[in-house]
Amino acid sequence: MIYSRSLRWLLRGGTAATLAFIYFPLFILALYAFNSARVQRWPIDGLSLEWVRRAAQNEGARDALFTSLKVGLLATGIALLLGSLAAFGVARYRFFGRDAVSFLVVIPIALPGIATGMALNSAFREAPLIGGIEFGTMTIAIGHATFCIVVVYNNVLARLRRTSLNLEEASADLGATPVQTFRHVTFPAIRTALLAGALLAFALSFDEIIVTTFTTGGGVKTLPIWIFQNYSRPNQGPIVNAVGLFAILLSIIPVYLAQRLTEEEVVSPAAGAAAATH
Amino acid sequence: MGVGLDDHQGLIPYRYRPPATLIGRGAAGPISLGARMTAVAHVGKLLRGKRRTQLAVLLAAPMGWLVFAYLGSLAVMLFNGLWRFDLGTQIVIKELGLSNFERLWNEAVYRTITQRTLGMAALVTLTCAILAFPIAFTMAKLAGPRARRYLLVAVLLPLWASYVVKVYAWRTILAQEGVLNWMLSPLGLDGPGTGGTGLTGIWLTLTYLWLPYMILPVYAGLERIPESLIDASSDLGASPFTTFRKVVLPLAFPAVVAGSIFTFSLTLGDYITPRLVSSSQFIGNVIYDQLGVAGNLPFAAAFASVPMVIMVVYLLAARRLGAFESL
């Protein structure tokens, strides 16, 4: 349709306003990270690298970063395995209850974080057969893996659906064993989808705080928990800004890479439910 | 979407394919046609059984994990909600009963908090839906492929940027000496601040946080609307507003519902935002304090099952509205 000039400008204006709304707080945060004053008032007093330097030397933040990386890698590993297994099952086989599988994969991310956190807390506490599990890095990773499965599942499933079965059939017809077919045909086709799924799972885990606060224990802090606990300490405010800026960059980079790897597929947890009932 | 593809990707292509050994490297010795047919049928039958085994092997681990670790946990939580916490002795009494749920129902404060949380979820969802349309429409119908890709990335990246840091950024913006008050002061106005029990700051922050979750499905939904339908409507003399109301909106509605699953659920499950930008209590705050401060596990578990049940009902309703096809 030929959209009228005024309508076009209206829509463009709306788009620009929305983008401004989305980026404004990030810009403010970045600016405060380089604020020369301790007090966070506006307009800022001047620019300095003092807080970035102090943040880099802050041991609490460094420990928390290390914990986050550890949890992220563990959760990503589990999610990668479980998500791709489920994706293969759903993409390559037709069976009764396939919708239920998709639904089950999606539900941990579709239910409110507070319910998921509370449920995992209850279960770890009681764990009737094993007399409870000690709260810490492992319990956080188990919780994260549960809702990270969906992003791997989605990416791999979307790729498998777009990859022609003819290649796999040709491979089998030419006498390749299933293992050979997987190694030389299927795996190369889904390699980037696996990587994208893993990057997104890591980003999801790296940012999560609500479920994390219910599954941590023994003083184990991830980076978001460290930030949350330090925001109100009078002397930590500016350091939190600097650490926060770092956390944003660290979570955006894997997502950007994942987007480059998958091109047309929209990488959002919202696409998470994409697979549900398909 | 999946249905059409299934014909090519289901069991059928495999099921009747002769085993590779018979046609490829060749079975030992010549086989008569009849024997070969029997062999094919036989192996085919075997494969069919095998495929079921393969499927079981593939699904055992992920389904086991999700059923055991996730659904199992939800069940334990519901069960814990039926226990009782003795305030005098500070001990959890493991007898089943509905006392926690009675308390949630009868005490006005919990009803108010539940209503407040639900109302906020609805308001944030509505705001996000309204804000999402101009940018989603521009992306889907006006932008060229290049601009569209840039816009997509521009919406996508902040969605993944550290959640707690974004809330924190809003806290500094809304603070007494923050940017918002600085911008409003020439107009003689005062922002919501972060100290009071006001809900404006929470509304702004949550809308900000979940907006990309709405934009992406709405964009995908709008992109699927054929240009010809919009053309036809305008050729028949409808104004842009009428076209939007009668053509675009009904077709994009399932996508809005799809996005609303996230805006609604994420609002219900959040307790960090209310804590950081206001002193107003949401369901999540009560759960966190009951568990962490009071040690009242049964009551926390009972209250946490409220947003869970609400979301399950919401998901079932969304499914009926066709939201899952547009995610």
What is the amino acid identity at position A31? L
Q: Are residues B134 and B197 in the same domain?
A: yes
Q: Which of B69, B175, B327 is nearest residue A276 as measured by Cβ atoms? A: B327
B34 touches chain A (CB under 8 A): no
- Note down the domain range covering B310: 99-326
In chain B, what residues touch A116 (CB-CB under 8 Å)? 70, 73, 269
Q: How many domains does chain B have?
A: 2
Q: Are residues B121 and B54 in the same domain?
A: no
Q: Does residue A271 or residue A18 have the better pLDDT?
A: A18
Q: Which residues pair with A131 in a beta bridge?
A: none
Checking if the pLDDT of A41 tops 80, the result is no
- With b meaning 16 or more CB within 10 Å and e meaning fewer, what string describes A211-234? bbbbbbbeebbbbbbbbbebbeee
Banded model confidence at residue A273, pLDDT cuts 50, 70, 90: very low
Q: Are residues B170 and B57 in the same domain?
A: no
Q: What is the pLDDT of residue A166?
A: 86
Q: Are residues B122 and B258 in the same domain?
A: yes
Banded model confidence at residue B24, pLDDT cuts 50, 70, 90: very low
| Domain membership flag for residue A60 | no
Checking if the pLDDT of B38 tops 70, the result is no
Checking if the pLDDT of B54 tops 90, the result is no
Give how far A112 is from chain B: nearest CA, Å.
4
Rg (CA), chain A: 23
| Domain membership flag for residue B94 | no
B39 touches chain A (CB under 8 A): no
Banded model confidence at residue B29, pLDDT cuts 50, 70, 90: very low
Q: Does residue B127 or residue B47 have the better pLDDT?
A: B127
Q: What is the pLDDT of residue A5?
A: 86
What is the amino acid identity at position A159? R
In chain B, what residues touch A244 (CB-CB under 8 Å)? 162, 164-165, 168-169
- Residue A88's domain is classified under what CATH number? 1.10.3720.10
Q: What is the pLDDT of residue A26?
A: 93
A36 touches chain B (CB under 8 A): no
Q: Does residue B193 or residue B68 have the better pLDDT?
A: B68
The C-alpha atoms of residue A58 and residue A217 are separated, in whole angstroms, by 22
Checking if the pLDDT of A80 tops 80, the result is yes
Question: Considering Cα of B235, then B240, then B244, then B248, what sign does the dihedral take?
Answer: positive
The C-alpha atoms of residue A140 and residue A120 are separated, in whole angstroms, by 9
Domain end position, chosen among B52, B80, B108: B80
Q: Are residues B278 and B136 in the same domain?
A: yes
B98 touches chain A (CB under 8 A): no
| Domain membership flag for residue A102 | yes
B49 touches chain A (CB under 8 A): no
Q: Which of A23, A82, A101 is nearest residue B158 as measured by Cβ atoms? A: A23
Q: Are residues B72 and B121 in the same domain?
A: no
**Poorest-confidence range of A168-182, A236-250, B15-29, B50-64?**
B15-29
| Domain membership flag for residue B91 | no
A40 touches chain B (CB under 8 A): yes
C-alpha triplet B207, B209, B215: angle, nearest 5°: 75
Closest to A215 in 3D by CA, of A145, A129, A130, A151: A145
| Domain membership flag for residue A236 | yes
| Domain membership flag for residue A189 | yes
**Inter-CA distances, A192 with A43, B31, B99, Å:** 45, 44, 52
- Mean pLDDT, to the nearest integer, of B273-290? 93
- With b meaning 16 or more CB within 10 Å and e meaning fewer, what string describes B68-85? ebbebbbebbbbbbbbbb
| Domain membership flag for residue B275 | yes
Best probe of the A interface among B15, B137, B164, B291, by most A CBs < 10 A, is B164
> Residue A211's closest chain B neighbor by CA?
B269
B232 touches chain A (CB under 8 A): no
Banded model confidence at residue B264, pLDDT cuts 50, 70, 90: very high
Give how far A117 is from chain B: nearest CA, Å.
9
**Poorest-confidence range of A137-146, A147-156, A221-230, B17-26?**
B17-26
Checking if the pLDDT of A30 tops 70, the result is yes
Non-local CB neighbours of B140 within 8 Å, separated by 6+ positions: B148, B219, B222, B223, B225
Q: Does residue A35 or residue B12 have the better pLDDT?
A: A35
Q: Are residues B19 and B51 in the same domain?
A: yes
Portion 141-170 of A in contact with B at CB < 8 A? 142, 145-146, 149, 153, 161, 165, 169
CB contact under 8 A, A4 and B240: yes
Q: Are residues B57 and B14 in the same domain?
A: yes
Place of tokens 């405060």: A32
Give how far B292 is from chain A: nearest CA, Å.
9
Domain end position, chosen among B45, B80, B115: B80
Q: Which of B24, B160, B269 is nearest residue A252 as measured by Cβ atoms? A: B160
Q: What is the pLDDT of residue B181?
A: 85
Percent of chain B scoring above 70 in pLDDT: 84
| Domain membership flag for residue A43 | no
A29 touches chain B (CB under 8 A): yes
Banded model confidence at residue A113, pLDDT cuts 50, 70, 90: very high
Please give the mean pLDDT across all residues of chain B.
Answer: 84
DSSP letters for A197-251: HHHHHHHHHHH--HHHHHH--TT---HHHHHHHHTTSTTTHHHHHHHHHHHHHHH
| Domain membership flag for residue B85 | no
In chain B, what residues touch A112 (CB-CB under 8 Å)? 265-266, 268-270, 284, 307-308, 311
Percent of chain A scoring above 90 in pLDDT: 49
Portion 240-279 of B in contact with A at CB < 8 A? 240, 258-259, 261-262, 265-266, 268-272, 276
| Domain membership flag for residue B89 | no
Domain end position, chosen among B35, B51, B80: B80
Percent of chain B scoring above 90 in pLDDT: 57
Give how far A34 is from chain B: nearest CA, Å.
14
Q: Does residue B162 or residue B118 have the better pLDDT?
A: B118
Q: What is the pLDDT of residue B31?
A: 47
CB contact under 8 A, B153 and A256: yes
| Domain membership flag for residue A154 | yes
- Mean pLDDT, to the nearest integer, of A160-177? 88
Checking if the pLDDT of B113 tops 80, the result is yes
- Note down the domain range covering A95: 65-275
Banded model confidence at residue A62, pLDDT cuts 50, 70, 90: very high
Q: Are residues B66 and B113 in the same domain?
A: no
Checking if the pLDDT of B6 tops 50, the result is no
Q: Are residues B48 and B124 in the same domain?
A: no
Structure tokens at A123: 């279960």
DSSP letters for A68-91: HHHHHHHHHHHHHHHHHHHHHHHH
What is the amino acid identity at position B230? I
| Domain membership flag for residue B45 | yes
> Residue B24's closest chain A neighbor by CA?
A175
Q: What is the pLDDT of residue B192?
A: 83
Question: Quick check: B133 and B215 in contact, CB under 8 A?
Answer: no
Q: State the angle between helix axes of B145-160 and B200-223 in degrees (0 to 180), rounded to the nearest 10.
A: 140
pTM: 0.86
Q: What is the pLDDT of residue B10?
A: 33
Q: How many domains does chain A have?
A: 1
Q: What is the pLDDT of residue B191?
A: 79
Give how far B157 is from chain A: nearest CA, Å.
6
CB contact under 8 A, B270 and A114: yes
- Residue B152's domain is classified under what CATH number? 1.10.3720.10
Q: What is the pLDDT of residue B35?
A: 55
Cis peptide before A43 (omega within 30 of 0): yes
Q: Does residue B6 or residue B143 have the better pLDDT?
A: B143
| Domain membership flag for residue A98 | yes
Question: Quick check: B269 and B285 in contact, CB under 8 A?
Answer: no
Q: Are residues B170 and B62 in the same domain?
A: no
| Domain membership flag for residue A145 | yes
Q: Are residues B179 and B103 in the same domain?
A: yes
- Mean pLDDT, to the nearest integer, of B248-277? 93
Q: What is the pLDDT of residue B39?
A: 55
